[in-house]
Amino acid sequence: MTLPKTIGELKESGYQPKTVKGELRANLINRMKKGDQLFSGIIGYDETVIPEIENAILSCHDIILLGERGQAKTRIMRSLTTLLDESLPVIAGCEINDNPYYPLCKHCHEKITGDKEKTTLAWLPPEMRFSEKLATPDVTIADLIGDIDPVKIAEGRYLSDERAIHYGLIPRTNRGVFAINELPDLHEKIQVGLFNLLEERDVQIRGFKIALPLDIVIIATANPEDYTSRGRIITPLKDRFGAQIRTHYPKTREDEISIVRQEIAPFTTDGFTLTIPPFMEEIIAEISQTARLQSEINHSSGISVRMSIHNMENLISNAFRRSIRLHEHEVVPRTIDLTHLSSSMKGKIEWNFIEDTIEEEKCSLLIRDAVSKIFKKYFSHHSFTPFLKQFSTGDGFELSEMTPSPSYLHNGEPYPALMERVSQLVDNTSPAQQASAVEFILEGLAITGRIKKEIRETALIYRANT
């Protein structure tokens, strides 16, 4: 199908313009009728956030998403473009994407006064109808709304002439979706300007009042504490948002794992394959889930799902480093690799204490708690009674980050009861997976006080309790 190229052709095609909100609504209804999902790749919100967003779109509301960091707010904002039409006709060359039937800007009006029907069109794809701005205190009216363009003045335009304006981001997103991150960080003066534009449909630029009835959907985000604290948001702007929707962290470990799987950088390195045992995935997810419940952590900014993602990437890299050095082709993370997570945890957790020195220690404790929880999920207190009996007469296990996988099988030989448990956890034909399972069990037993663990320089020694 060829798209109309002029206003005349557009009229002949029977095209009827919609408002952006009407467009989102119509496309949402179609998608719901077909039984399709609202957004793809947004996990854990099916019963909470998604229905609220659907309601907001059906109600033609502007939306404010309230949530701590790392709760997919930005992804939701960007996903709104999937509800826009495939392409939208605008007057070609218009800075503010004017509607061919009802142009706003003077430039387009002048263009049309000639032969209106022959005025040429441009067709915008959804991605060209979305802009995003991170609110910071130094964002200006010029950035968002516009400013007098000195070049245009020099060319002889009058200050009061709308053609002397250099449009900012919002007018340039006319007939599209404007997303603003961290709304409370916007200076009050700018909030007032924003409100006037959205509600009064006019702008004040350098004292000149210019009518600019834009057609726009606003979606904003804010940290809940900033948003509700007095004076951070001017009341009329708050009122403008028809829907205030609270986002949240994954409510289950399974959801957290699904997000990590979806988001981690793909592992593609010739000659190596990656296997992440389920218990290692669960430990990574549990670290964040445990941290979110800790009283020693300041929760106003939250513990982002990004911590889980970065922890997983870090864990994989450490396992990969070992595989390269040892010339092993299967990359499998082990519990000893968890000691490298502090670099991906620091900076994502705001502790209530100040001393840096205990930060590392607190991160280790979080990891320890997570390992313990997952270990107890897999095994009961009695799971290892036969093994512990065998272990009490043996030499124990000494291992380090760089211990080759086959050594675990060799060291495990005297303990068939241990290897039987290992075979319940992983593929029994893979030494690298078996090594990881042996470590997980030994670490779990040590954390739960069933065996002893000594740390000697880079080595770990697991021995029977005496």
- Interface residue list for Zn ion (CB under 5 A): 94, 98, 103, 105, 108
What residues contact 72, with CB distance under 8 A and at least 6 apart? Answer: 42, 43, 45, 247, 305
At 96, list the tokens.
């503010």
- Judged by CB, which is closer to Zn ion: 46, or 110? 110
At 349, list the tokens.
């957790």
Question: At CA 305, angle to CA 301 and CA 307, rounded to 5?
Answer: 85
**CB 158, min distance to Zn ion, A:** 19
- Judged by CB, which is closer to Zn ion: 88, or 108? 108
**CB 20, min distance to Zn ion, A:** 16
**CB 105, min distance to Zn ion, A:** 3
Q: Crossing angle for the helix pair 305-326 and 278-291, nearest 10 degrees?
A: 140
Q: Point out which residues pair with 330 in neighbouring strands.
A: 273
CA distance 305 to 1: 43
Q: What are phi and psi of 352, to 5 degrees?
A: -80, -10
C-alpha R_g of the chain? 30
- Judged by CB, which is closer to Zn ion: 212, or 284? 212
Q: Point out which residues pair with 51 in neighbouring strands.
A: none
**CB 211, min distance to Zn ion, A:** 14
Tokens 């179609």 found at = 30
**CB 131, min distance to Zn ion, A:** 17
**CB 103, min distance to Zn ion, A:** 5
Q: What string of H, E and C letters represents the secondary structure of 154-184? A: HCCCCCCCHHHEEECHHHHCCCEEEEEECHH
- Judged by CB, which is closer to Zn ion: 92, or 464? 92
Instruction: Tell me which H or E stretch contains 452.
Output: strand 451-456
- Judged by CB, which is closer to Zn ion: 84, or 112? 112
Q: What are phi and psi of 173, to 5 degrees?
A: -100, 15
- Judged by CB, which is closer to Zn ion: 10, or 108? 108
Quote the DSSP letter at residue 394: S
**CB 217, min distance to Zn ion, A:** 20
**CB 91, min distance to Zn ion, A:** 5
- Judged by CB, which is closer to Zn ion: 103, or 168? 103
Would you report the helix, strand and coil content of the chain in percent, each value rounded to 5? 45, 15, 35
CA distance 464 to 460: 13
> CB-based burial of residue 131 (10 Å sphere; 0-12 exposed, 13-18 middle, 19+ buried)?
middle
- Judged by CB, which is closer to Zn ion: 92, or 461? 92
- Judged by CB, which is closer to Zn ion: 178, or 241? 178
**SS3 of residue 23 by DSSP:** helix
CA distance 236 to 223: 19
C-alpha torsion angle, residues 127, 133, 134, 136 (rounded to 10): 170
- Judged by CB, which is closer to Zn ion: 114, or 137? 114
- Judged by CB, which is closer to Zn ion: 103, or 431? 103
CA distance 156 to 152: 7
**CB 99, min distance to Zn ion, A:** 9
- Contact assessment for residue 65 and residue 45, using Cβ atoms and an 8 Å cutoff: no
